[in-house]
Chain A
């Protein structure tokens, strides 16, 4: 599995002069983990995460603000992305093996990896994308269950449906023992939450 197979594109990005308030609004609105920062030539220059935005709001020693000479009553201070972002940003190419990318994310303690071709941002890949790829979707589970039930009768006998990991098996015959075995087989399939089997009615529409 390569980065290009599971990355998200196009990517929502910000500029160095974007305010942290605007960046926070984007993160909250889209549920993103990080925003890549582009320069005036649309090249990747950095990345800003929720942690970067929040760190700015809890200064270690607030009394330092007084000694910096900011006069009380002076106008509001607007902080920009450029002041809090991480730069340069680590990035990888679209052909990168996802296992390599996962290790890079874990080693760096990062949650998202910008994907670039040269210095052009072409996508972004997060820990969540990798988990989604690991977690088995209903179609994959259904195919796996059908495959395992083949030894217990052709695919004409068993009709398998999977919804959110819950497997329903309709049995064209009416054999309770076989249905029990089918349930046990299905529940051994990775990703299955539970399985139930029942006798299909004659008047079922297909």
Chain B
């Protein structure tokens, strides 16, 4: 799916993520982790190894449980295997993943190395785009087709009408799913010619 076909390339997480996020090493003491969270005003900090590979994450909840911080390091506090995405993941895919998993941030990695972070808060306005704005963008990505019925309610797009070729339907649905703010696509399109042999 390229810019020529759609007229609107999907934005990727690389466009909006915070690059080179603050991190701590596994051996960082409790007080250092607390200081990092507090000074940077963040809710969780990634833990990386010497090569910058993501190994875990420590959140506010891990610190306030009342354990005595003496002798405790990030390694003991952290959750392992935090969820990650690749830099070329589309924004709508990230938005869906955040909503479905309930996590508040996703770390962006390349070959295991931490390169960025994106939070649900960063994308909050994407979730709540005006239905009219979404519909205008959807109509634009479908402008090379015969007129189709497009309605949007709370980000859910309903497509009605008829396209020329059966194979076009799946292509169009993917274009529409890539529009920022689209939560889901209901495909009720018909076709004239069946080219799915």
Contact = CB atoms under 8 A, between A and B. Distances in A.
Interface of A: 20-21, 24-25, 27-28, 31, 50-51, 53-59, 62-63, 65-66, 70, 72-73, 76-77, 79, 99, 102-103, 105-106, 111, 127-128, 130-132, 134-136, 164-165, 190-193
B41 to A, nearest CB: 8
Given A54-B98, A76-B132, A106 B37 contact: no
B128 A57 contact: yes
6 contacts: A51-B102, A58-B96, A102-B66, A128-B41, A128-B43, A165-B35
B128 A105 contact: no
Interface of B: 29-32, 34-35, 37-39, 41, 43, 60-61, 63-66, 69, 96, 98-100, 102, 104, 120-121, 124-125, 127-128, 131-132, 149, 151, 153-156, 158, 160, 183-184, 186
B124 A50 contact: yes
Contacts, number: 128
B186 A66 contact: yes
A53 B156 contact: no
Contacts of B64: 102, 105-106, 127, 130-131, 134
A70 B32 contact: no
B136 to A, nearest CB: 13
Contacts of B160: 72
B99 A55 contact: yes
Contacts of B60: 111, 127-128, 130-131
B102 to A, nearest CB: 7
Of A77, A131, A134, the most chain B CB neighbours within 10 A belong to A131
A128 to B, nearest CB: 6
A73 B128 CA distance: 19
A148 B186 CA distance: 68
Contact of A136 (B35, B41, B132): B35
Contacts of A51: 102
Given A24-B128, A127-B61, A135-B35, 10 more contacts: A24-B125, A57-B128, A102-B66, A106-B65, A111-B43, A111-B60, A128-B43, A131-B37, A165-B35, A191-B31
Given A50-B124, A54-B124, A135-B39, A72 B31 contact: no
B120 A50 contact: yes
Contacts of A79: 154
B158 A57 contact: no
B39 A70 contact: no
